[in-house]
């Protein structure tokens, strides 16, 4: 059987040149106290592949828990969202979750994947355009943490944002509220947001999820240094750093660090960076929410909770939020 041509043509990527220069951001982080690096740097090609492996690790329950909820609830989500939805996905992942929604929705009008990686975006957009010829695919190459200039969407469509994976946990609470406020403005009045959020739980479970026995998360973390060596002419010796991840219960977040095993000076983009022995670069925070903190975040951002679903083991939430 011939594959029907996408009714809306081959998707053209819309680029927003708002990606801030990496050099300044990295040097600012490495000169601060404590040293930090932005987690978005994890996702070069190697990092994205390692992240996909993380999602399949026995210890990393998040992806399976969220998929369980989406499979069970996609019909309910579709009912709440109604017909002719324009779906805005913040960070286009491997495409499994979005297919669950596109399959359940009644005559979806458009799909706007937003991603900083042009390659990933192009691949996802081409695949989905072939599979869903009736849906207008409008890939947007942009840093989704900034306010989006949403491309023109089919007349009469209702905007529903999708932000899965508990990536919201990678923002500090204040930034999370600002970011969700931007999502609120992007969907407008009458819009909605389907949000995936990891729940606070026992430290042992969280520590294992971010420091797996097979060392994939350690490689994912260390890959950020390999990336700086390649893209910023840095001189990190990866053997002199080790992965550390732990649940900080007071702040309700898992922290990932890269700890220098020795005292050393590393050149990064021509600048010397000094490390004490045992000093760390804080590479990621993954906040875990309880119900009260989540509701506070939702309200501050200008949404109201319509539904909150969890999986059988009560590890994760998928929330259906309506713009107030």
Where along the sequence are the contacts to ligand AVI (CB under 6 A)? 54, 62, 165-167, 169-170, 210, 217, 284, 286
Q: Residue of minimal CB distance from ligand AVI?
A: 286
For 238, residues 6+ apart whose C-beta sits below 8 A from its C-beta are 222, 225, 226
Nearer to ligand AVI, 108 or 113 (CB): 113
92, 124 contact by CB (below 8 A): yes
Q: Which lies closer to ligand AVI via its Cβ, residue 81 or residue 195?
A: 195
Cβ of residue 7: shortest distance to ligand AVI, in angstroms?
Answer: 33
Please state whether the peptide bond connecting residue 34 to the residue before it is cis, i.e. omega within 30 degrees of 0.
yes
Closest distance of CB 82 from ligand AVI, Å:
29
Assigned token pair, 161: 């944002």
In the complex, what is the shortest distance from the CB of residue 314 to ligand AVI, in angstroms, rounded to a whole number?
18
Residue 149 sits at φ, ψ, to 5 deg, of -95, 95
Shortest separation between residue 286's beta carbon and ligand AVI, angstroms: 3
What is the CB neighbour count within 10 angstroms for residue 41? 21
Burial of 4 (0-12, 13-18, 19+ CB in 10 A): exposed
For residue 91, the minimal CB distance to ligand AVI (Å) is 8
274: which 2 tokens? 């000094």
Half-sphere exposure of 235 (CA within 13 A, CB side): 10
Measured from the CB of residue 215, what is the shortest distance to ligand AVI in angstroms?
12
Of residues 113 and 191, the one with the C-beta less far from ligand AVI: 113
Structure tokens at 298: 């939702």
CA-based R_g, the chain, Å: 20
Give the three-class secondary structure for 141: strand
| Residue with tokens 């106290």, as numbered in its chain | 33
Which is closer to ligand AVI, CB of 132 or CB of 144?
144
Q: Which is nearer to ligand AVI, 36 or 167 (CB)?
A: 167
Question: Least CB distance from residue 210 to ligand AVI, whole Å?
Answer: 5
Rank residues 124 and 136 by Cβ distance to ligand AVI and give the closer one.
Answer: 124
Of 280 and 286, the one with the shorter C-beta distance to ligand AVI is 286
Q: How far is the CB of 239 from ligand AVI (least distance, A)?
A: 21
Q: How far is CA 144 from CA 16, 117, 169, 179, in A?
A: 10, 11, 15, 9
Cα–Cα–Cα angle for 175, 178, 179, nearest 5°?
85
Q: What share of the chain is helix, strand, coil (3-state, %, to 5)?
A: 40, 25, 35
Which CB sits closer to ligand AVI, 159 or 288?
288
3-state secondary structure of 278: coil
């Amino acid at each position: 059987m011939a594959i029907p041509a996408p009714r809306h043509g081959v998707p053209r990527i819309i680029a927003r040149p708002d990606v801030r220069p990496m050099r300044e951001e990295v040097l600012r982080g490495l000169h601060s106290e404590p040293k930090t690096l932005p987690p978005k740097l994890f996702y070069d090609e190697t990092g994205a592949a390692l992240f996909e492996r993380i999602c399949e690790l026995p210890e990393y329950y998040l992806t399976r828990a969220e998929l369980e909820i989406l499979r069970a609830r996609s019909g309910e989500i579709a009912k709440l969202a109604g017909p002719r939805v324009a779906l805005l996905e913040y960070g286009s992942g491997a495409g499994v979750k979005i297919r669950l929604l596109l399959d359940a929705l009644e005559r979806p009008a458009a799909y706007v994947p937003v991603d900083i990686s042009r390659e990933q975006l192009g691949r996802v957009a081409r695949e989905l355009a072939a599979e869903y010829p009736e849906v207008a695919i409008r890939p947007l190459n942009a840093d989704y943490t900034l306010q989006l200039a949403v491309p023109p969407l089919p007349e009469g469509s209702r905007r529903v944002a999708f932000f899965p994976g508990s990536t919201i946990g990678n923002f500090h609470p204040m930034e999370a509220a600002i970011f969700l406020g931007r999502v609120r403005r992007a969907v407008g009045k009458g819009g909605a947001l389907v949000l995936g959020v990891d729940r606070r739980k026992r430290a042992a479970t969280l520590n294992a999820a971010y420091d797996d026995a097979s060392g994939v998360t350690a490689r994912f973390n260390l890959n950020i240094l390999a990336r700086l060596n390649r893209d910023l002419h840095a001189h990190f010796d990866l053997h002199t750093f080790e992965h550390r991840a732990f649940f900080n219960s007071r702040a309700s977040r898992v922290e990932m660090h890269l700890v220098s095993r020795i005292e050393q000076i590393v050149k990064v983009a021509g600048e010397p960076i000094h490390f004490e022995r045992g000093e760390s670069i804080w590479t990621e925070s993954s906040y875990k929410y309880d119900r009260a903190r989540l509701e506070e975040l939702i309200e501050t951002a200008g949404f109201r909770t319509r539904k909150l679903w969890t999986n059988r083991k009560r590890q994760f939430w998928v929330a259906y939020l309506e713009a107030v």
